[in-house]
């Protein structure tokens, strides 16, 4: 199994310019079987003081990426 072991998505990690579907399509195009999502969990991203809300968005981004991966036949860890 070939995996990209360090992938970020635009939905959470500010250093990334690619949305989950684009990253996963690119992974598939180069023959990968999936990705390991390693988005940043950085307290500086909590700009509104809502840490619980950020945690929910962080987890939601994983589940969103995982569902897109399933549709494309890719593993998302």
Mean of all residue pLDDT scores within the chain: 93
End-to-end distance of the chain based on CA atoms, in angstroms? Answer: 13
pLDDT band (50, 70, 90) for residue 63: very high
**What is the tens place of the pLDDT at every residue in 9-59?**
998 888 889 999 999 999 999 999 999 999 988 777 888 888 899 899 999
User: What pLDDT is stored for residue 9 in this prediction?
Assistant: 94
């Amino acid at each position: 199994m070939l995996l990209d072991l360090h992938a970020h998505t635009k939905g959470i990690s500010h250093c990334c310019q690619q949305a989950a579907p684009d990253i996963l399509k690119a992974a598939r195009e180069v023959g990968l079987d999936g990705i390991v999502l390693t988005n940043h969990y950085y307290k500086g991203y909590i700009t509104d003081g809502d840490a619980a809300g950020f945690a929910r968005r962080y987890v939601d981004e994983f589940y969103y990426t995982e569902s897109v991966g399933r549709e494309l036949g890719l593993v998302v860890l």
